[in-house]
A and B are shown apart, each in its own frame.
Chain A
Amino acid sequence: MSVPIFPIPMWEVSLTLFLVITTGVTVICAGALAYFRRVRMERPAVGTFNTRDVVILLIFIGVLPFVYGWLPVPLVTCLLAVTFAAALYIGYRPLLGSVGIWLGIGLLFGFNIWSSHHVMGTIPGWQVWYTEQSIMVGLGVIAVCNLYLQGGMKLRHVAWLSLGLAFYDVLFAAYYPLTGRLLARYITHPLTPVLGMRFGEVDYAVGLGDLLVYSLFFVAAYKAYGARAAAVAAGVIVVMGGFATAFIPFLFNLENANLDTLIPAQSLFGPAAFVAYLWMKRHYGRERTMAEYLASQDGAAAAPQVEQAPAPEPASI
């Protein structure tokens, strides 16, 4: 008969992870939506996100872990720095200006690199590192989410992307555990692409990619069909991206001595998001284009302030 050796019960680990994911997702989705509603990013003269871009993105995501696994850690850090800097620059230059954004990027990166080397001997140190890390990752996700959506990415594209990532996650987490190896190799290094927190001896974290897909799904649903669809999307994210992901180890007893269980979150969320998209499409009809969304916002803004402007909904409702 086996004897439990864990310092805390598994249900408590799952519950804490659920709270960490839900908190992170809530803040990032709310931030992405606020950005989407208030800030217009520059876009190229010609070009809109299309299905082939989803395929290209999936190929890129599929190849990238091998590159990261093959490159020396300092080079991976450099690549991540370029990626984060580009995302933050594109996303926040309209708000901070050129000088402000480079100053902000410098501070974020500087503190991140410093804290990665100097504060992680204690639990409060880890918590400082995770807090700073989470801020940077969250800002990056909000920027990239808006870059895609304001570039014409539709809910249809997000649904297919999440479905593709579901297969990716199953493949690279279960059959060919590259993701876990990468994380084990890179965690504690600067610019680790995770949002999380340490409580006691346990790290609770969610990956940047997962957060990006959640925020894309949430804001794309809002753009496509309005507030009600966004609420449905939020439900799917909380249930499948948060609850199911956090409680799978507890429900199926996927525990090990190091408590470093890696859950392929997209394999749970992807199919659910795709089904939710099909339901929305059937229920609400054609997605709004960016132009239609902006027109609906202009209409809402022009409405008298004393009356609550109705949430823009498709004609089929």
Chain B
Amino acid sequence: MFETGVRQFRLALGMTQGRRLDPRNVARLVDDVLATLAEFGEPGADAAELIEGPMSSPEARLEVTNNSLRRTARRLSSQSPFYARRFASAQVDPAKLDVARLRTIPVTRKQDLIERPEDFRCTDVPAYLATRTTGTTGRPAEVWLSRYEMELWPALGALASVLRGELLPGDIMQVNISSRATAATHLAANSCRLVGAGWRPLGIVPPEASLEGLAEGGATILFTVPSYLAELVTAARCRGMAAGDFRLRRLVVGGEVLSASLARAATRTFGVPLVEDPYSMTEILPITGRTCSQAHQHHDLNLGLTELVDLDTGEPAAPGALGTLVITPYFPYRDCTPVFRYDTRDVARCLPDTSLRCELAGIPATSQILGKADHLLRVPGGDVVTPRQLIEAIESLPAEPWPARYRAAAHDGRIRLTLPASAIADCGEAEARRHFAAAGLDIDLDIVGSDQAASLRRTRSDLHETTFASQRAFAGA
């Protein structure tokens, strides 16, 4: 107990002073939490403060934010060639930077990262692991991570997870994301190692192989992407599998829009109370967002700053308006290839200017992610149709066409939605139009053959990884 107090003090001191944290200290704190859980069954009453930080007052939050921004900007101006130039051209003094003056610094776009990746690398840190974005929205960006980051993030993640009861000894986490998502798989593996949980990395393999892992393999946590979850739900239903066949207690997805209809089906099929849909992105690691029971997206306060920037004006989004998430991970949490004011192009709506009443009300929030900014459809009258609106409407069609395959474009002031024939197989075109109208979508439908479905919209589940089990000719050779 004495040592735990010292470790917590060291962690708090490092966080407030902005010095590099000792990942081993955090890892030992994970052990302390596990010992606490073993003895008491739950952490003490102040556990939430340990995870979220004592930042319930707006004044304290602003002070921490300003200090963290200055610290991060100071380091980037001296160690990152890209940001040294950017701060100089914006005539920004990192020592005087604060939230109010932040807008004088232009946002960083993905194109910058793709074109000049070496300019983003800090010169004082050796690179350890390269990770790439999936590339579903275009050319992938490569981000180098340091050994420090790859030790610190799993430790911080494991600490928060055990304190929240999200990952516990004896759990088995099955990971069905692209095996090339090196950072995410590395983080999952090391978090499991620190907690004493099992880790089964399968990748985007044929759904039948994954279902075996979920059923006979005894997985208790599934981490995947919504499109692959859709394939799993469909495959499980085809095999007549139901909640009683699985031991899952948590189902976590990310990286794509999760529709309410798919989430409902997944909870019924796999017997979990809800599908968790946290927000994360390779470029802005280790920042994450969490969804609450009222479908808000709550953004991490401790590790970085999340702004919601109006899509047209570049100013903070007004209540009710759409904006793009612009994220700045703080030093010392982001080390090797840091970004500052990174425009994720993930769109969310600014919540009304009233106090939140959800279980995460102390943490700032936006609406759920509504899709990528470049996929918004603007229609006459200033209305905007978001990818989430389309996916929600398509995936709730009677045929349950998961994952939604569609193409949408604005033509002459109207939206033309292209769907595969299989999507409206159970209702017909007229009924489908009524369905979309009921969802507030006045659209023209264009139906193509089901064989063209995969070409309409790329999803992460399209990144198939083969196995010998799925290629029996090779297996028998």
Contacts and interface: CB of A to CB of B under 8 A. Distances in A.
A45 B39 contact: no
B36 A46 contact: yes
Interface residues of A, number: 19
A49 interface: yes
Interface string A252-296: 000000000000000000000000000000000000011100110
Interface in B43-85: 43-47, 49-50
B38 interface: yes
Interface string B1-33: 111110010000000000000000000010011
B44 A42 contact: yes
Contacts of A44: 1, 4-5, 44, 46
A45 B1 contact: no
Given A50-B1, A52-B3, A56-B2, A45 B163 contact: yes
A289 B49 contact: no
B39 A289 contact: yes
A48 B35 CA distance: 7
A53 interface: yes
B44 A290 contact: no
Name the prevailing secondary structure of the A interface residues. Answer: loop
A152 interface: yes
B46 A48 contact: no
Contacts of A117: none
B45 A48 contact: no
Interface residues of B, number: 24
Interface centre among B42, B46, B49 (most CB of A within 10 A): B46
A124 to B, nearest CB: 44
Q: Looking at chain B's contact residues, is the secondary structure mostly helix, strand, loop, or mixed?
A: helix
B8 A46 contact: yes
A42 B45 contact: yes
A136 B213 CA distance: 62
B45 A52 contact: no
B47 A45 contact: yes
Contacts of A47: 1, 4-5, 8, 32, 36, 44
B41 interface: yes
Contact of A46 (B2, B38, B41, B47): B47
B40 interface: yes
Contacts of A48: 1, 4, 32, 35-36, 38-40
Contacts of A50: 1, 3, 35
B49 A152 contact: no
A291 B39 contact: yes
A285 to B, nearest CB: 16
Interface in B281-323: none
B40 A46 contact: no
Candidate in B4, B45, B47 with the most chain A CB atoms within 10 angstroms: B4
Contact of B49 (A45, A49, A295): A45
A188 to B, nearest CB: 34
B46 A45 contact: yes
A41 B154 CA distance: 32
A289 B8 CA distance: 24
A37 interface: no
Contacts of B50: 45-46
A151 B1 contact: yes
B45 A45 contact: yes
Interface in A20-63: 42-50, 52-53, 56
Contacts of B41: 289-291, 294-295
Contact of A152 (B1, B8, B33, B46): B1
Nearest to A44: B44
Interface in B330-362: none
Given A45-B163, A46-B32, A46-B50, A291 B40 contact: yes
A291 B39 CA distance: 6
B2 A45 contact: no
Contacts of B33: 46
B45 A53 contact: no
Contacts of B1: 44, 47-50, 53, 151-152
Nearest to A48: B39
A290 B39 contact: yes
A46 B39 contact: no
A294 B41 CA distance: 10
A60 to B, nearest CB: 10
Contacts of A52: 2-3
A152 B3 contact: no
Interface of B: 1-5, 8, 29, 32-33, 35-36, 38-47, 49-50, 163
Given A48-B39, A152-B35, 16 more contacts: A45-B163, A46-B8, A46-B43, A46-B44, A47-B4, A47-B8, A48-B1, A48-B32, A48-B35, A48-B36, A53-B2, A53-B3, A152-B39, A152-B40, A291-B40, A291-B42
3 closest A-B pairs by CB: A291-B41, A47-B4, A45-B47
9 contacts: A42-B45, A45-B163, A46-B29, A46-B36, A48-B38, A52-B2, A52-B3, A53-B2, A290-B40
